[in-house]
């Protein structure tokens, strides 16, 4: 199949196994499908994992000695991976990209999708070991709702790579430590794989924004590219991992500005995921 068919399968097939389809099936990276209607729909999902309005609280770190709480945390993470797959598929489908960049942007996105599929499977295998199935807890669509505001690849990379995936550097490191503190090395190792891969995903976004920003600083270009109501506060977790950000190619100025950035969200909201 071509890249467009592949992306459509990931986004629009309700079957979970189709969302995990190996990119090796892609025979061609050309083709186009700029279908704006896709933006207004939700990814198709099996009944058991359909988006819910029910607001489930992320488990407190003081409860991580309990398998069921750890499973719940990883259930959140698994849903984020699945959302990432769907958002990346949506980007492939409806964001136009100039021919000169098209092949490299598309192959990079597909490589990232492959990593997210791997992460999803690692989390689900682990929660299965705790006796939980994916879909046993309600799942939310917060990330998807942000994706619906994205119209261009500079916006996409600002939202996905420099905001959500950058925040995940902090979260992956933070929860990796927490799992370690309750002697759960197996879960901690999963967080480390995610962390290492996430550096390359953030780097992918940093690379393209640097290509396109012209005279602007990365910081200004990034901020201007964020959709309404999304601020750099969302690009940080509970702790702040400078090291991973530097490895992803962010410069000192950018890392300092993110670190110092404050808004309402930090004050009111950042206790939960």
Which residue number, 113 or 230, has a Cβ lying nearer to Fe ion?
Answer: 113
- Nearest to 237, CA basis, from 56, 77, 75: 77
Name the minimum Å distance from CB 245 to Fe ion.
14
Which residue number, 69 or 119, has a Cβ lying nearer to Fe ion?
Answer: 119
CB atoms within 10 A of CB 148: 16
- Look-up: residue for tokens 């492959």? 114
> Running DSSP on this structure, what letter comes out for residue 233?
G
Name the minimum Å distance from CB 162 to Fe ion.
12
Which residue number, 165 or 170, has a Cβ lying nearer to Fe ion?
Answer: 165
Q: Which two tokens stand for residue 213?
A: 């920003």
Which residue number, 82 or 255, has a Cβ lying nearer to Fe ion?
Answer: 82
Contact pattern for Fe ion over residues 77 through 96, marking x by CB under 5 A? ----x---------------
Q: What is the DSSP string of 9-61?
A: HHHH---HHHHT--GGG--BS------GGGGGSPPP--GGG-B----PPPPPG
Which residue number, 81 or 86, has a Cβ lying nearer to Fe ion?
Answer: 81
Name the minimum Å distance from CB 267 to Fe ion.
27
Pairwise CA distance, residues 95 & 90, whole Å: 8
> Of 86, 116, 170, 184, which one interacts with Fe ion (CB under 5 A)?
116
Helix axes 3-12, 67-94, angle to 10 degrees: 140
The CA-based angle 87-224-258, given to 5 degrees, is: 85
Three-state secondary-structure class, residue 139: strand
201 scored as a contact of Fe ion (CB under 5 A): yes
Window 133 to 192, contacts with Fe ion (CB under 5 A):
165
Give the binding range for Fe ion (CB under 5 A) out of 7-15, 75-83, 101-109, 173-181. Answer: 75-83
Give the binding range for Fe ion (CB under 5 A) out of 19-27, 48-56, 101-109, 194-202. Answer: 194-202
Name the minimum Å distance from CB 190 to Fe ion.
11
Which residue number, 116 or 141, has a Cβ lying nearer to Fe ion?
Answer: 116
126 scored as a contact of Fe ion (CB under 5 A): no
Which residue number, 216 or 247, has a Cβ lying nearer to Fe ion?
Answer: 247
234 scored as a contact of Fe ion (CB under 5 A): no
Three-state secondary-structure class, residue 117: helix
The CA-based angle 190-193-197, given to 5 degrees, is: 145
* Chain residues in the site for Fe ion (CB under 5 A): 81, 116, 119, 165, 201
């Amino acid at each position: 199949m071509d890249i467009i068919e592949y992306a459509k399968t990931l986004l629009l097939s309700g079957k979970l196994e189709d969302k995990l389809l190996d990119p090796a099936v892609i025979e061609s990276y050309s083709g186009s499908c700029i279908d704006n209607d896709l933006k207004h729909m939700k990814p198709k999902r099996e009944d058991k994992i359909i988006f819910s309005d029910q607001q489930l609280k992320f488990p407190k770190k003081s409860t991580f000695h309990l398998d069921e709480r750890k499973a719940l945390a990883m259930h959140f993470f698994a849903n984020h991976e699945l959302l990432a797959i769907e958002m990346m598929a949506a980007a492939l489908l409806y964001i136009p990209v100039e021919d000169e960049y098209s092949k490299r942007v598309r192959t990079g996105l597909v490589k990232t999708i492959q990593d997210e599929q791997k992460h999803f499977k690692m989390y689900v295998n682990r929660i299965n070991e705790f006796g939980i199935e994916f879909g046993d807890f309600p799942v939310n669509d917060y990330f998807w709702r942000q994706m619906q505001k994205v119209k261009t690849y500079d916006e996409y990379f600002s939202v996905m790579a420099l905001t959500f995936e950058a925040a995940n550097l902090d979260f992956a490191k933070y929860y990796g430590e927490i799992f370690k503190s309750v002697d759960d090395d197996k879960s901690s190792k999963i967080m480390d794989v995610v962390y290492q891969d996430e550096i390359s995903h953030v780097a992918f976004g940093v690379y393209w924004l640097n290509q396109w920003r012209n005279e602007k600083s990365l910081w200004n270009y990034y901020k201007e590219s964020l959709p309404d109501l999304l601020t750099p506060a969302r690009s940080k977790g509970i702790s702040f991992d400078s090291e991973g950000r530097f490895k992803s190619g962010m410069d000192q100025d950018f890392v300092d500005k993110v670190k110092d950035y404050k808004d309402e969200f930090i004050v009111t909201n950042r206790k939960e995921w």
